[in-house]
Structure 1
């Protein structure tokens, strides 16, 4: 079904891989890309369970927008093991204006398709999505 704001459809693989990340923990992160030619959002990269947040950050291009989800494991002050799923809207300053607008107009509907997102981060440069910011938002 096309996104009413941007006309972008969501490839079924996006939802299937997200469910695998959420339920089976088969992936640490997923990077999504809008394919303007096909007018749809598709999976670009799957991060394996042993990969880190640094691997996710390295997967985001410095001059193009992307969406990503990250399964963040942490230990609370009460020493409880927890996990939160982050949605990251990556829109670097160096990306094209059209691309930024397309990602911004598609984001809310795409995020709703991924049932189980707990925290959202928007970042225009790596400092806005540092691991310290993720930790601070998780707790």
Structure 2
């Protein structure tokens, strides 16, 4: 009952595209990252951009707007201290200081709805400034 109430309050749907792209990132490693946005007219979370498997964390950071909120997932590959290749998926709620108050509120209240659809995320970050999610933060969390 609580879940139905929460969905009713935000009224946000997650497009099938979001789910299928996430599965492609998780299982097939087709994408390095996916950026999601909320379409206020259709009340849906949609795919905004994707980055190919060869793209870097810098490419991902450059894909986020300076003045608007987004959600994103990033597939971080790294090598452990015992030389094992690993991969961790990060969910990032991007809410820069320059974005509109309405957008910040909408993204904050709709986050859990999208997050529930993305099964397989290892870590979650919230960032209002690029330094809160730079590569060192990601690397520290992954290890």
**Structure 1 unmatched ranges of 5 or more:** none
1:43-88 Cα distance to aligned partner (Å, 9 max, x none):
0001000000111100000000000000000011111110000000
Partner of 1:138: 142
TM-score by length of 1: 0.97
Q: How does 1:7-22 map to 2 (within 5 A)?
A: 7-22=11-26
1:114 and 2:118 are equivalent in the alignment: yes
TM-score by length of 2: 0.94
Give the number of aligned pairs.
Answer: 139
Q: Which has the higher helix share?
A: 2
Partner of 2:78: 74
SS of the equivalent of 1:43 reads strand
1:9-60 Cα distance to aligned partner (Å, 9 max, x none):
1010000000000000000000000000111000000100000011110000
The runs of 4+ residues in structure 1 deviating greater than 6 Å are none
